[in-house]
Amino acid sequence: MEVLHHRCAGLDISKRDAKVCVRVPGARHNTFTKLVTVSGSMTRNIMELRDYLVAEKVTLVVMEATGDYWKPFYYLLDPVLNVMLVNARHARNLPGRKTDVSDAQWLAELGAHGLVRASFVPPEHIRQLRDLTRSRTIFVAEKSREIQRIEKLLEDANIKISSVATRTLGVSGRAMLEALIAGERDPAALADLARGRLKNKAGQLTLALDGRFNDHHSFAVKMHLDHIDSLDRRISGLSDRIDSVMAPLAWCVDLLTTVPGISKTVAEIVIAETGQTWPSSPQRRISRRGQVSVRAQ
């Protein structure tokens, strides 16, 4: 089998260290020697490993994308060495007596013969954007769960706001919940807090707000509302940060939002997750059918 990299290294990475196998030409023609070492995962250890691999004139370093442990090794080795991050499924070793050392040797063999394909690692600004959009998605999902918890508490208290109002935490619903927490129990007085078109349902609201809301419900609902307010602040802060990081790619967002069903938030997530952008100096054309195309100058 053809050898593409005569000096190749394979790294099997764990939380504490990495097993390193360097495959180099042996004393005889068409023979190769495998040098196995262990490197710690601290920054200084990785820098020493980088110097060692450079000294061995390694032309390719292969590592698996296992958890998040690969990131320090990749980010510190990549600027100097040719590093290939591969999918663990594509580099699966033969079944049997598998060890970290044998996995490192297997990666070195695969890399030397060009039998693995590199995974896409986005540039740093896209990685930062991905962290931000994923955190925002997590907080938005957590906010939805908090709203569901409030609705369960209201059902327990037989307060049926969600049966009349579209949104439990709309302007009207929030005002009613704040009044309930403050001690108001008169259904008619609570219904008077309705705003907008919800005022036309005053009779239904009066019936829906006649329940058994007590001090326990008051404490629990206030706790969840405070958490929701905290999440709103975090989501707002993340959105501002995303806008700042996305500023150079604002025109990409504008272009994606021309697609029906794709909002600004979705466009930001698409760019962050795919890592794909368009040429930096685009010429936009709109066809007769209204389709947008981008062509580099």
What residue type is 32 in one-letter code? F
Structure tokens at 64: 């698996």
Q: What is the pLDDT of residue 15?
A: 92
> What is the separation of C-alpha 94 from the centre of its chain, rounded to a whole number of angstroms?
32
The helix/strand/coil state of 37 is: strand
Q: What is the pLDDT of residue 30?
A: 81
Domain residue ranges in the chain: 8-112, 124-245
Query: Which helix (H) or strand (E) covers residue 38, if one does?
Result: strand 32-40
Q: Are strands 32-40 and 60-64 parallel, antiparallel or unpaired?
A: unpaired
Tens digit of pLDDT per residue, the chain (297 long)? Answer: 788 999 999 999 999 999 999 999 988 888 899 999 999 999 999 999 999 999 999 999 999 988 899 999 999 999 999 999 998 887 776 566 678 899 999 999 999 999 989 988 888 889 999 999 999 999 999 999 999 999 999 999 999 999 999 899 999 999 999 999 999 999 999 999 999 999 999 999 999 999 999 999 999 999 999 999 999 999 999 999 999 999 988 999 999 999 999 999 999 999 999 886 555 544 444 343 444 444 443
**Among residues 212, 40, 242, which one has the least CA distance to residue 137?**
242
Q: What is the pLDDT of residue 287?
A: 42
Give dist(CA 39, CA 26) in Å, integer.
23
Residue 13, number of CB atoms within 10 A of its CB = 25
Q: Is the dihedral of CA 135, 137, 142, 146 positive or negative?
A: positive
Give dist(CA 19, CA 174) in Å, integer.
57
Q: What is the pLDDT of residue 272?
A: 93
Q: Domain 8-112 sits in which CATH superfamily?
A: Ribonuclease H-like superfamily/Ribonuclease H (3.30.420.10)
Contact between 22 and 108 (Cβ < 8 Å): yes
What is the distance between the terminal CA atoms of the chain, rounded to a whole angstrom? 43
Q: What is the pLDDT of residue 278?
A: 53
Q: What is the pLDDT of residue 9?
A: 96
Give dist(CA 21, CA 109) in Å, integer.
10
> Which residues are 86's β-sheet partners?
64
Give dist(CA 184, CA 87) in Å, integer.
59
